[in-house]
Amino acid sequence: MFKKSVHNSFLKKETVLLIFLYLSLLISFVIGENSTGGAILDYNNQKNISEEFSINFINTLLTYDNFTTRHSPILIIVLSFFEKINIPDSLIRIIHLHFCLLIPFFFYKCLQTKFENSNENIFYFLLSLIFLSPTFRSLSIWPDSRLIGLLFFTVGVLYYLKFLNDKKFYNVVANIFFIALSAYFSPNFSVFSIFFFFQFLLHFKIISKECFYIFVLNLVLSLPAIYYIFILDINFMAKPAAIGIGKNEKIIFNNLFNDILITFSIIFYYLLPFIFFKIIKIDNVFNFKNLIISISVWLICINYFDYVYSYSGGGVFFKSSNFLFQNNFFFYFISLIAIMIITPLLIKNKFNFLLFILIILNNPQYTIYHKYFDPFLIISFFTIFKFETNMLNIFHKKNYVYIFLYFLVFLVVNNFKPLLWNI
């Protein structure tokens, strides 16, 4: 009886918290929150393109790479239909906001599926962190293709987790469909089909009808994108997104050492509170082998690191280092700690390592923005990464309060960011 009352008490608190967070999102909609810094500008830019689609669909589709955007045209096309029937802009945005609320919902379903015997209050708490994401808040208020891509990616993850439980092939088909759909809205997610393909390959024999179906389905779903980008040569993804980068400069995989160091630092930022409170367990940090690997990777990367501060991006630690000290030294120090802590997690499981590689590949452009990882990483940590976890530690000594404050402070700082810098 006591346990039941405690559970109900927590449930009431979590429900009140989620209602409060939802209301805060509505207030942010009214005041036009722009905590990523560029959400309004991006939306106004693609709104102009959606108006072009509503006027001349075919011509705009075939000349899409002439516009100053590297976003997929799919969401813009959807928005153009609203434009064509004269739906007010505020109504378009409020519909989009509520559609994006499916992200925390499906994240919750993923947690339920993966951690079947865990306290549901833990799930409510973790999904509440999505509402503190500057990217989620800004891009749900100002429609952007990345959030819709993340939504369908999360649905795809749900079917992958269902497959791990019941091994039913229709979950494989559903996973492939939704991952492909996520890639059409946000091409960055396309690389993660590699992760799921190898996961399914482990279960089914390579020479099997299931693997043949998986290969054919992936191929068929990718054909429209292949035709549009490579045959029609409408390569919108090669557009630079940084101030000061010329049209003729190389922006795809310009420097992988930049990508590795910045990615480690951003992943570390999101892992930090969960490792500190031992929710995600880590060992062998000071193991001799780990130290040798970490220091070697770090030394090679900083030797070739040349990310330009004025181009914007770089993540919270890179920007903090340059803003506070006018150099990269603090960033280099954090990066070393990040590599030392994260490397054991990557070595321990080959699919963790594969996911890390895919996270790097999912952002091939020169500029690496913190918002590309938010809230994608939180969702990924507790769904597709293979971490040893102790979820009960979230509520041990009210650790959840400190974790919540950690992400809340980041949200507040991001809202004052235009006065400081553009992360």
**Token pair of 168 as six digits:** 């039913």
Q: Domain residue spans in the chain? A: 2-239, 256-381
Output the six-digit token pair for 214.
Answer: 């998986």
Question: Which tokens sit at 404?
Answer: 């919540």
Identify the pLDDT of residue 395: 87
- Output the pLDDT for position 41: 87
Phi, psi of 35 (to 5 degrees): -75, -10
Mean pLDDT by 10 residues, the chain (423 residues): 48 78 93 86 86 86 81 87 87 93 96 87 92 93 92 97 92 95 91 92 84 90 86 71 54 79 94 93 86 94 88 86 90 95 90 93 82 91 92 88 94 74 48
- pLDDT at 238 (0 to 100): 64
**Helices 39-55 and 73-84 meet at what angle, rounded to 10?**
60
| pLDDT at residue 418 in the model | 58
Cis before 224? omega within 30: no
pLDDT reported for residue 182 = 94
Q: For position 261, what pLDDT does the model report?
A: 94
Contact of 372 with 153, CB cutoff 8 Å: no
The pLDDT assigned to 251 comes to 56
> pTM for the full model?
0.91
Query: In the prediction, which pLDDT does 254 show?
Result: 73
Can you give the pLDDT at residue 5? 47
Q: Output the 3-class SS for 184-241.
A: HHCHHHHHHHHHHHHHHHHHCCCCCHHHHHHHHHHHHHHHHHHHHHHHCCCCHHHCCC
Q: What is the pLDDT of residue 3?
A: 46
Q: What is the pLDDT of residue 49?
A: 87
- Give the pLDDT confidence score for residue 249 in this predicted structure: 54
- Read off the tokens for 320: 């903090």
